[in-house]
Amino acid sequence: MITVASGYRESKESWHFVLTDLKDRGLSGPVLGIGDGALGFWGALAEVYPDCKWQRCWVHKTANVLDSLPKQIQGKAKSMLHDIYLSDNLKSANKAFDLFIRTFEGKYPKATACLEKDREHLLTFYTFPSHHWKHIRSTNTIESPFATVRLRTDKTRGQGTEKTTHMMVFKLLEQASMRWHKLAGSNIIPMVMAGAIFEDGELKKAA
């Protein structure tokens, strides 16, 4: 946990404040931003950290795509979406991606358009170490702690001032962080931050 800040409906201005504050405090050169479809975050990220890569969350995207499909075929569609992001390499992922589009675009163009528009940013994780894939292809890592915060803040009436609310949220996240585990492949992170190039999860050696 590196910051707690107030914001207005995930607006670009709110995210810009958060990211600029992080940059001013020394967070320079992040290599990957992971998030859902909140346009405010991506707009601010592009301005504050223009060289940072984007990874769209597969859990959120899957839910959005399935919402555009009839319930009776959601099981099949979900399995086909899994085939995309669980592929061993980018070529296979794109092949599975194309199959999904061909299968559903005739009857359900809204669902396929929802998926297709973020193809590039859904498959960014293939340019990172395979050890990290399960962590970076979705926002699941942070969803559980945030769920705890939302539950407590929803139940707590009259939380007081903005400052006391920040303190409560901070303490909740601090307690949650005590149960966090070290990321798989954490020893590789310095290589990623130093600019090492990975292809299909493997370090690309110099020619």
Residue closest to 191 by CA, chosen among 129, 120, 113, 101: 129
Going from the C-alpha of 2 to that of each of 55, 85, 157, 166, the distances in angstroms are 20, 29, 26, 13
Per residue in 106-152, pLDDT (tens digit) is 999 999 999 999 999 999 999 999 999 999 999 887 777 777 777 76
Q: Is residue 74 part of a domain?
A: yes
Do both 186 and 151 map to the same domain?
yes
Predicted pLDDT at 131: 96
Do both 62 and 93 map to the same domain?
yes
Do both 132 and 197 map to the same domain?
yes
Do both 161 and 195 map to the same domain?
yes
Do both 105 and 138 map to the same domain?
no
Predicted pLDDT at 23: 95
Do both 155 and 207 map to the same domain?
yes
- Residue 110 to residue 87: CA distance in whole angstroms: 24
- Residue 33 to residue 68: CA distance in whole angstroms: 26
Going from the C-alpha of 114 to that of each of 40, 43, 56, 74, 131, the distances in angstroms are 18, 19, 12, 15, 28
Question: Residue 5's pLDDT band (boundaries 50, 70, 90)?
Answer: confident
Task: Note down the domain range covering 187.
Answer: 128-207
Per residue in 82-92, pLDDT (tens digit) is 999 999 999 99
Mean pLDDT value across the chain:
90
Do both 101 and 135 map to the same domain?
no
User: Do the Cβ atoms of 118 and 61 come closer than 8 Å?
Assistant: yes
